[in-house]
């Protein structure tokens, strides 16, 4: 793990809230934090996925890569570092970013989860892409690896099953099970379906959060801005770790800014949680 981080793998603390029940009643949302066992499993999975990608490359075969491109909003990450009294280069640099994150974790462990969340939002989401033999893969910015695929969970994730079928062909010398246009189309399909699944999971979490907050209309909370665009401004509370839309007072805010908000309304069925700036 230390070797990965020296090469720029980002050590982010981004625990998703987990529903806590008291009998049949939702009582709280607690962050589901990583432990050493989870980190060890992650290291093994990353190693296996990297070996799989390079093996297919060595056989002259295409692969379905999991990629995370360089952050489009790197300039905002640079601003966050500057605000913390640190500096980052003008161009995206995973090694420099990981060094900054390591310094901030030591200097401000209490505030590190908020910084991690802001960086995750600014880096963006991953996607699946067809990689052809001999080409330069875009790589995975967050993991600081060039050769990376998804192969370790074929029982629950379709891209992994596709990769296993490619591996089977490579090991047996059989023809490829897909044409290149089919693989390119499947990469797009897998990215789109993953986005759809993420939206459903997010809606379930939002509905649970709306239910938890439904009796706290008018209360004020400390929050961090997690999204700021023409589509709206979003904030996440420090405690409980719940995200909602900032309906009023969002002018001039950007991802990573800290703000005080008041809960305006909730809609459990639609998963809506609306705040106004306090």
Residues 174 and 226 in one domain: no
Residues 206 and 196 in one domain: no
Residues 118 and 206 in one domain: no
Q: Are strands 63-67 and 127-131 parallel, antiparallel or unpaired?
A: antiparallel
Q: Are strands 272-277 and 17-22 parallel, antiparallel or unpaired?
A: unpaired
- Tens digit of pLDDT for each residue in 117-164? 899 999 999 999 999 999 988 899 999 999 999 999 999 999 999 999
In whole angstroms, what is the distance from residue 211 CA to residue 273 CA? 10
User: Domain boundary at 201, 230, 247, which?
Assistant: 201
Residues 24 and 127 in one domain: yes
Contact 222, 262 (CB under 8 A): no
- Residues of the chain with pLDDT > 70, as a percent, come to 99
Residues 172 and 278 in one domain: no
User: Domain boundary at 201, 216, 237, which?
Assistant: 201
- Nearest residue to 194 (alpha-carbon basis) of 125, 242, 143: 125
CA 267 remoteness from chain centre = 26
- Model confidence at 110, in pLDDT bands (50, 70, 90)? confident
Residue range(s) defining the domain that contains residue 63? 2-201
Q: How many domains does the chain have?
A: 2
- Tens digit of pLDDT for each residue in 5-14? 777 889 888 7
- Residues of the chain with pLDDT > 90, as a percent, come to 76
Residues 33 and 145 in one domain: yes
In whole angstroms, what is the distance from residue 261 CA to residue 278 CA? 5
Residues 13 and 67 in one domain: yes
- Tens digit of pLDDT for each residue in 189-233? 999 999 999 999 989 989 999 999 999 999 999 999 999 988 899
């Amino acid at each position: 793990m230390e070797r990965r981080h020296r090469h720029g793998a980002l050590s982010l603390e981004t625990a998703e809230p987990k529903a806590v029940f008291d009998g049949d009643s939702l009582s709280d949302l607690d962050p589901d934090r990583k432990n050493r066992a989870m980190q060890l499993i992650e290291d093994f999975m990353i190693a296996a996925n990297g070996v799989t990608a390079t093996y297919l490359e060595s056989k002259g075969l295409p692969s379905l890569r999991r990629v995370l491109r360089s952050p489009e909003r790197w300039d905002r990450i640079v601003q966050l570092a500057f605000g913390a009294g640190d500096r980052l280069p003008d161009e995206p640099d995973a090694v420099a970013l990981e060094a900054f994150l390591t310094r901030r974790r030591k200097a401000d462990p209490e505030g590190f989860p908020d910084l991690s969340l802001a960086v995750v939002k600014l880096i963006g989401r991953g996607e699946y892409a067809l990689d052809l033999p001999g080409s330069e893969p875009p790589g995975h910015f967050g993991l600081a690896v060039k050769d990376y695929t998804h192969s370790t969970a074929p029982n629950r994730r379709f891209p992994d099953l596709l990769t296993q079928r490619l591996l089977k062909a490579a090991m047996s010398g059989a023809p490829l099970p897909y044409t290149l246009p089919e693989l390119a189309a499947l990469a797009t399909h897998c990215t789109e379906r993953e986005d759809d699944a993420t939206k459903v999971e997010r809606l379930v979490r939002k509905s649970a959060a709306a239910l938890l907050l439904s009796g706290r209309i008018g209360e004020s909370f400390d929050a961090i801005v997690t999204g700021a665009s023409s589509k709206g401004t979003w904030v996440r509370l420090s405690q409980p770790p719940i995200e909602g839309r900032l309906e009023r007072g969002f002018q001039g805010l950007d991802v990573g800014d800290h703000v005080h908000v008041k809960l305006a309304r909730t809609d459990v069925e639609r998963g809506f949680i609306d705040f106004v700036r306090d």
